[in-house]
Amino acid sequence: MVKIDEPKTSKPALTSSLFLTSVKSWHNDLGILLAVINVGQPVATEKETKVSVPVECEIQEDMPKCRARVIGEDGQVVMTEDEMGNEVAKIEIIKNPETITFWMGMSVEDPENDEYKVFNLGSAFPLINYAFAKAGEVDANNKKNLIFSYDELLDVLEGLEFRAKTETRKFNGRPYQVLIPSDL
C-alpha cells in the first residue's frame, strides 16, 4: 500500500514584527548587524496588483533578548488568551536567533517587463532605498517612489550588510515598527 507523506509546515517562531519590536526595546541604540542571504521570488497577495518578496537575513551578532512565538511539537504556533479574551500567539524571550525574514510588499508596475514599485511611505521603502543608494543607483536622501525589476532588486539586496534599527509609524492610528537600515 502506498502512503502519502504530507510534510508538516512549521510556522516560524521569529516574525519580522517580533524581531523589530525586540530591536526597539533592547537593541535600537546600535542596531543589530544583518546580512541578506536570500531574496525569494515575488509571492502573489490578495490584491492582484501587489506582491510580497521574502528577504531572508542572517543575524550576524549576539542578540541576547528577542521575542519569538512559542511553537508546539506539531510545528504550529501555540495560542493563549490575552486579558481581553482574544486568542493570541504565546510569546517567549529567546537568545541569539539565526535568521529573520522580512516580507517586502510592493506593487506590480509593469508585469510584462517584471517591474515593481515601492512607495516612499511603504514599510519596504527604507531597506530597498538603502540598498539602491549603497549601489549608487539613487541618492541616499531619496524620498521618491522607486520602480525597478526583480533582477535589479536581486543585484542590490543579495549580500547587503547593514545595521537594523527601527522606527515607529502609525497606520489607521495603530503603531507598527519599520526596519530602518544604517551603515555598519
Average of per-residue pLDDT across 27-50: 94
Q: What is the DSSP pairing of strand 174-182 with strand 161-171?
A: antiparallel
Q: What b-and-e string marks burial along 86-103, b requiring 16 or more CB atoms within 10 Å of the CB?
A: eeebeeeebeebeebbbb
Digit-coded pLDDT (tens) for 121-140 = 999 999 999 999 999 999 99
How far apart, in whole angstroms, are the C-alpha atoms of residue 96 and residue 125? 27
Q: Is the pLDDT of residue 181 over 70?
A: yes
How far apart, in whole angstroms, are the C-alpha atoms of residue 82 and residue 70? 15
- Give residue limits of the domains in the chain: 16-182
Q: Is the pLDDT of residue 9 over 90?
A: no
Residue 162: predicted pLDDT: 98
Digit-coded pLDDT (tens) for 52-66 = 999 999 999 999 999
Residue 4: predicted pLDDT: 55
Residue 1: predicted pLDDT: 60
- Which pTM does this prediction carry? 0.89
pLDDT range class, residue 7, cuts 50, 70, 90: low
Question: Poorest-confidence range of 4-8, 34-38, 153-157, 174-178?
Answer: 4-8
Residue 11: predicted pLDDT: 81
How far apart, in whole angstroms, are the C-alpha atoms of residue 163 and residue 17? 17
23 burial (CB, 10 Å; 0-12 / 13-18 / 19+) is: buried
